[in-house]
């Protein structure tokens, strides 16, 4: 699966679903990719759980899916040395 750059995805998601958050659009996009993909978002806040549940009602039109699918992949690593140290503890 191709990982999209956060900025490109954010900008496209604003167009794709005006009343949805980028996280909801991301979940809807992943879900629409096929039954073999099940997004499992992590969260610590009730508001985020509610946001994630609401993502189930976001439906993307074929044109919106095409826009999101056409975004360039992310480049480089999302990690830095500090993040790597935290993971390796």
Number of alpha helices (DSSP H) and beta strands (DSSP E) in the chain: 5, 0
Q: What's phi and psi for 64, nearest 5 deg?
A: -65, -40
Query: How many Å apart are CA 3 and CA 86, to the nearest integer?
Result: 22
Total-model pTM: 0.64
User: What pLDDT sits at residue 73?
Assistant: 73
Q: How far, in Å, CA of 36 to CA of 71, rounded?
A: 22
For residue 78, the model assigns a pLDDT of 64
pLDDT tens string, the chain, 89 residues long: the values are 556 666 666 666 666 567 888 889 889 999 998 889 888 888 889 999 999 999 999 988 898 888 888 887 766 666 677 777 776 66
> According to the model, what pLDDT value does residue 28 have?
92
């Amino acid at each position: 699966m191709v990982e999209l750059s956060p900025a490109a995805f954010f900008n496209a998601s604003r167009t794709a679903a005006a009343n949805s958050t980028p996280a909801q659009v991301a979940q809807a996009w992943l879900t629409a990719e096929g039954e073999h993909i099940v997004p499992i978002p992590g969260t610590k806040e009730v508001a985020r759980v509610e946001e994630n549940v609401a993502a189930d009602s976001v439906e993307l039109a074929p044109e919106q899916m095409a826009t999101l699918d056409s975004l360039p992949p992310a480049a480089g690593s999302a990690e830095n040395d500090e993040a790597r140290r935290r993971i390796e503890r």
